[in-house]
A and B are shown apart, each in its own frame.
Chain A
Amino acid sequence: MSITEIMNHSVISVRPDRTLRQVKEILRIKRISGLPVVDSSRKLIGIVSIEDIIKALEGGYIDDTVENRMTKDVVSIESTATLKEVIEFFEKWSYGRFPVVDGEKRLVGIVTKNDVMMALLAKLGLVYLHDERRREVLDSPEYFARSLLTGERLDKSGADFYFSIDYFDINLAGVGASKLRQFLLSKGVDEKTARRVSIATYEAETNVVIHSGSTGAIYCFIKPESIFVRVEDTGKGIEDVELAMREGYSTAPDYVRELGFGAGMGLANMKRCSDNMIVMSKVGAGVVVEMEFLRGREAKG
């Protein structure tokens, strides 16, 4: 993975003839903590950080020009660097961000620790929700009405496929997934994608039947680029999603294991089959699983 895939391309920079007071305003309005300084040909010549501004306020030189007060020996990364090299940079220097430059030292982007983390999470195939957003989602009355993956309002009545998991008999588990597979094939979805979708949905459906102690539903939306599946229930919920995601971890009762399920592979299987997946749960408020499957992933290799 190269740095150009993870860096922020629309980097905000400042010219050396501006004042520190102007920089302070940019930092405040844009809610950022530092600015690269470039000359008229966009060559990187320095950097000003929020620390410089604090010092300027204390020292009473906030109306000085950037050029006089900026850090001139700025550490930058070449745009040909790899993700591994970026991580090494963060280890070596204690700065929070690095400007990215091309072969002629022209500024082309900026990379922060957060960009690195998001890139790694994307690579793991997991969309990360930090605690605050998680709480926001779980506590909102729209918990069951909004997409966790895209944040968009879900018009469930407009779903291309709907299946109600309204049974408790483990022997019926998979009926919905099987129907979904036939439906996708009938809509011209390629065999391999349909297979991935139905395997992951089968696991999710089985989880609802085994674990939720309630009923649930499968919604599927066919999009030009991807298949989107949401499986939800209103049951017991999962206490520790991270633990549940771990391969081999299972809380399934023995009778379920005798049927060949409950090996603790379900969630891991679902993650492997999908391209993006979110599991959201609160004890006593059910589980929502959303998965996105890019169409033609196989064709692209």
Chain B
Amino acid sequence: MKLSEILSEVKAKVLVGEEKIDQLEFEYIAASDLMSEVLAIARPSMVLLTGLTTPQVVRTAEVVGIQAVVIVRKDSVPSETLEMARACGVVLAVTKMTMFEACGRLYNKNLKPVWGA
């Protein structure tokens, strides 16, 4: 599924990397607030949903090769996190939707979990 479609499904606003959302496509989604968990389960071709807004989220994404991060249940994201995303080339988007609803909507669209797929 195209990243632009994924983002509109969860009503997310793109903060960084707008130019890439029509090019990138994803099959897998992971949702977590634990960065160690992300490090443990992540695969490069997936979108990360998280409730955390710290620069750490972007750095973790970069280390495992995640290209797109959607921050849930937030209005805004700290500027240092945005800067980090720009520096790392990670697409960053934010939505007011809860983690539960965002996951449910994407699951309905046949996006797959990283394990057991």
Contacts and interface: CB of A to CB of B under 8 A. Distances in A.
A195 B65 contact: yes
A175 interface: yes
B63 A202 contact: yes
B28 to A, nearest CB: 16
B1 interface: no
A85 B36 CA distance: 39
A259 B33 CA distance: 8
B82 to A, nearest CB: 14
Given A171-B55, A171-B56, A202-B39, A263 B65 contact: no
Given A195-B44, A195-B64, A199-B64, A175 B36 contact: no
Interface string B5-43: 000000000000000000000000000011111111000
B60 A263 contact: no
B108 to A, nearest CB: 27
Nearest to A200: B39
A177 B40 contact: no
A167 to B, nearest CB: 13
A100 to B, nearest CB: 40
B40 A175 contact: no
A259 B40 contact: no
Given A171-B56, A265-B40, A272-B40, A259 B35 contact: yes
B57 interface: yes
B59 A199 contact: no
A262 B56 CA distance: 13
B76 interface: no
A178 B63 contact: yes
A266 interface: yes
A203 B39 contact: yes
A269 B39 contact: yes
Contacts of B80: 171
Interface of B (DSSP majority class): helix
Contact of A263 (B37, B50, B57, B64): B37
Interface in A145-204: 170-171, 173-175, 177-178, 181, 191, 195, 198-199, 202-203
A264 B80 CA distance: 27
A60 interface: no
Given A178-B62, A191-B65, A195-B64, A269 B36 contact: yes
B64 A260 contact: no
A261 B59 contact: no
B54 interface: yes
Contacts of A268: 40
A261 B52 CA distance: 11
**Which of B34, B39, B40, B52 has most A Cβ within 10 Å?**
B39
Contact of A174 (B40, B44, B56, B65): B56
A295 to B, nearest CB: 17
Interface in A256-301: 259-266, 268-269, 272
Contacts of A175: 59
B34 A174 contact: no
Contacts of A264: 36
Contacts of A178: 59, 62-63, 88
A202 B65 CA distance: 13
Interface in B75-92: 80, 88
Contacts of A260: 33-36, 38, 50, 52, 54, 56-57, 60
Given A170-B56, A173-B59, A264-B36, 7 more contacts: A177-B63, A178-B88, A181-B62, A202-B39, A202-B60, A202-B63, A203-B36
Which 8 A-B pairs give the minimum distances between C-beta atoms? Answer: A260-B35, A265-B36, A174-B59, A263-B36, A198-B63, A263-B34, A199-B39, A260-B52
